[in-house]
A and B are shown apart, each in its own frame.
Chain A
Amino acid sequence: MIKAQDTQEIVARRYAKAFINVFGNTMTIDELHAIKAFEQFVNEHKRLLVFFMLSQIDDATKQQQLDAMLDSFKLKKLFHPLSQLLLKSKRVFLLPRILKQIAVLYKQAKKIIECTITSSHELNAQALSTIQNFLARKTGCAIIYTNRVDKNLIAGLRLQGDTVLWEYSIRKQLRQVALARTH
């Protein structure tokens, strides 16, 4: 027994796979960033998708609006065939899930790891570059990173990707001590 949410996930993944099969080789890192930004936008404004499901609005208008949205993220060219298909099959509501899956599959195909470098203190460009190179060497993947400072680490670094984690911080050691005491 599969619930509706899981079914949607499966269908979205199929669309994403098909998209990657066709456009995977031509897609760029910038477009990946744009896809992520668009996904975030769609997730934050889910109400917009309702308009694409209203039968009173004709398909031409819907397509026009969708293209306008995609264009503002510089994705019109890449996503036009997919948007057409989704409108035709009345599955625009799947768009956020499809975008998420596309990003995941693209990163898998191109061996890209998105990583958040969290440090207790501000890191300079050279340090960040050292970490990036270090991670690339260790994982054999291209690294896209975002940097943030978290004083809660007390002292140390935490590198967190989708599926990997490196942490070397005082907070981690304190957490381990606390866990050892409670168990």
Chain B
Amino acid sequence: MEIKSTDLVSLFERSLQGLSQTSLQEVGIVTQVGDGICKVFGLNNAIYGELIQFEGGNSGIILNLDEDSVTIFLLHATIPVAELEVAKRTGNVFKTPVGMSLLGRVIDASGKPLDALGEIKVDEYRPVEARIPQIIDRSPVNESLETGIIAIDALIPVGKGQRELIIGNRNTGKSAIALDAILHQKGKNVFCIYVSIGGRQANLARTIRLLEENGSMEYTTIVSADAGEAVLNQYLAPYVACTIGEYYRDHGHDVLIVYDDLSNHAIAYREMSLLMRRAPGREAYPGDVFYLHSRLLERAGKLASGGSITALPIVQIQSDDITAYIPTNLISITDGQIFLDAKLFNRGIRPAVNIELSVSRVGSAAQTKAIRKMTKALRLELAQYHALLDFAQFGTELDEVSQKILARGAIAVEILKQPQMVTYNFVDQALILFLLKENFLEGLDIKNVRVFVTQFVSYVRSVYQDEYAAILQTEDISDEMRERLLIIAKEFNKLFIAPDMSYTE
């Protein structure tokens, strides 16, 4: 069929006649591509952070504006971009899909599902770089967010809206603590987001399976940017997760976000900065690496209007050195840190929380009364124990008081041990700590301590349901309740048969 050129032109002209110039496409030409980054000539009116579409199907974000060109980081490593390819402005910054249907889903940094569970019903799209809540919008962190881990809830309590750093060498149980905290949120109306940055896919698959097996996926969203993905995705993943968290928070929910881990995030940003030829500073990180994390973690907090975002960023260190660049940055940004000690881990003390180096700047404000009352002197006792333990290693003969402190400290360390995926609610924790505080564990063989406390908790829960429910309701152990618990503990002490004794009998 012959087409007349005049027809073609008039058809084209008609289709464009109604459009204003601003609605016409502004483009640039790719002049350089490589390492997930490309330089585009043109795009004169493009803005920083704008999403750019390439004709070949790839897309990217502008992260550098030069006089006559822009630097774009590509979102997809697998879609090729050719030299002289046309890049178009979208007029939008990078946005991520948000919605309640993201619960139970695994997505990548661009919001695409990775779990083969079909399309995600999106409520809205939000820019990943959002305005941080102002001082007037915030409320103090004074509500406890239970992690279910007795060592943390008793000594380094985390509150709703707090940023608590989990720091430690590799293989010291950092992710395990964060995952336990997620598992413990079941039935507590806290939505969880787990962000995997630069991790292994096998590890993520294991995490997903663990959450699924424990029924925790239904209140959890996983954002993944594994090590094989474009560096831009690893950079964006925590911001995407935070944006999703903000959506939940704005709907009045409490949110727990685990950033696993921000060392990889900093490394991804360092890679990007070096590719953009920005001046390298300490450890070759760019000058704005502090701002990279501070603007992310400042988005956490508790709002006066309801809803909160609690952040548990994870950072990996080398040889227990917490004075490295990124760890010190994160320590100063966050409201405390949980330091996991490789030596403790190797000695079988798990979770390997180093009490002396761990701190929660929110303190007891984020503890229930019951726990607060039971742990008043615990930190001091543990400090004395560790100090004396070092001394005792020299084989010095110790006086009776010191020996008592050592024995009590050993018991305290024993009750703070906790297997992975076993979490305690605050009543269980309060009961365990009660036994320690009221010296019911003294004289027990150290290997029987765990059995004793576990059986005691289950004894109170099953036999004295009213007392258990009262503590749960009031979140306190009053003087009368203390008296009652003393009687119960004495009663249980008589009933308790240590496992090794029962075996011999």
Contact = CB atoms under 8 A, between A and B. Distances in A.
Interface of A: 1-3, 6, 13, 104, 119-124, 126-127, 130-131, 134, 138-140, 155-157, 160, 162-168, 175, 178-179, 182-183
Nearest to A105: B68
**Shortest beta-carbon contacts, A-B, top 9:** A165-B27, A163-B42, A123-B5, A127-B9, A127-B5, A165-B25, A157-B12, A168-B12, A179-B57
B401 interface: no
A1 B8 contact: no
B86 A127 contact: no
B28 interface: yes
Contacts of A164: 24-27
Nearest to A138: B21
B202 interface: no
Contact of B8 (A126, A157, A166): A157
Interface string B262-305: 00000000000000011110000000000000000000000000
B9 A163 contact: no
Contact of B277 (A3, A126, A156): A3
Given A156-B12, A163-B43, 6 more contacts: A104-B68, A123-B5, A130-B10, A131-B12, A165-B27, A166-B16
B88 A121 contact: no
A162 B42 contact: yes
Given A1-B279, A166-B25, A155 B3 contact: yes
A163 B26 contact: yes
Contacts of A127: 5-6, 8-9
B67 interface: yes
A16 to B, nearest CB: 11
Contacts of A2: 277
Interface string B1-37: 0010110111111011000010011111100000000
B207 interface: no
B27 A160 contact: yes
Of A127, A138, A165, chain B has the most CB atoms within 10 Å of the CB of A165
Contacts of B24: 138, 164, 166
Contacts of B6: 124, 126-127, 130
Interface string B468-488: 000000000000000000000
Contacts of A168: 11-12, 15-16
Contact of B86 (A1, A156, A160): A160
A1 to B, nearest CB: 5
A139 B27 CA distance: 14
Contacts of B13: 130-131, 134
18 contacts: A3-B277, A6-B277, A13-B68, A104-B68, A121-B3, A122-B5, A126-B6, A127-B9, A130-B6, A130-B13, A131-B12, A138-B16, A162-B42, A163-B44, A164-B25, A164-B27, A166-B12, A183-B57
B137 interface: no
A175 to B, nearest CB: 7
Contacts of B212: none
Contacts of B88: 165
B42 to A, nearest CB: 4
Contacts of B278: 1
B3 A163 contact: no
Interface string B417-458: 000000000000000000000000000000000000000000
B55 interface: yes
A157 B26 contact: no
Interface string B36-48: 0000011110000
A157 B422 CA distance: 66
A94 B3 CA distance: 48
A1 B277 contact: yes
Contacts of B11: 168
A140 B24 CA distance: 13
B76 to A, nearest CB: 9
Contact of A156 (B8, B27, B43, B57): B8
A155 B8 CA distance: 8
B12 A1 contact: no
A13 B67 contact: yes
B347 to A, nearest CB: 46
A127 B67 CA distance: 36
A157 B5 CA distance: 10
Given A3-B277, A104-B68, A124 B5 contact: yes
A157 B277 contact: no
Interface string B58-90: 000000000110000000000000000010100
A1 B287 CA distance: 13
Contacts of B112: 183
Contacts of B55: 175
Contacts of B279: 1
Interface string B139-163: 0000000000000000000000000
A121 B6 CA distance: 11
B248 to A, nearest CB: 26
Nearest to A131: B9
A118 B26 CA distance: 17
A179 B68 CA distance: 29
A119 B5 contact: yes
B464 to A, nearest CB: 59
Nearest to A178: B57
Contacts of B8: 119-121, 123, 127, 155-157
A42 B152 CA distance: 70
A157 B161 CA distance: 56
Nearest to A161: B27
Contacts of A155: 3, 8
Given A163-B27, A165-B25, A166-B24, A182 B57 contact: yes
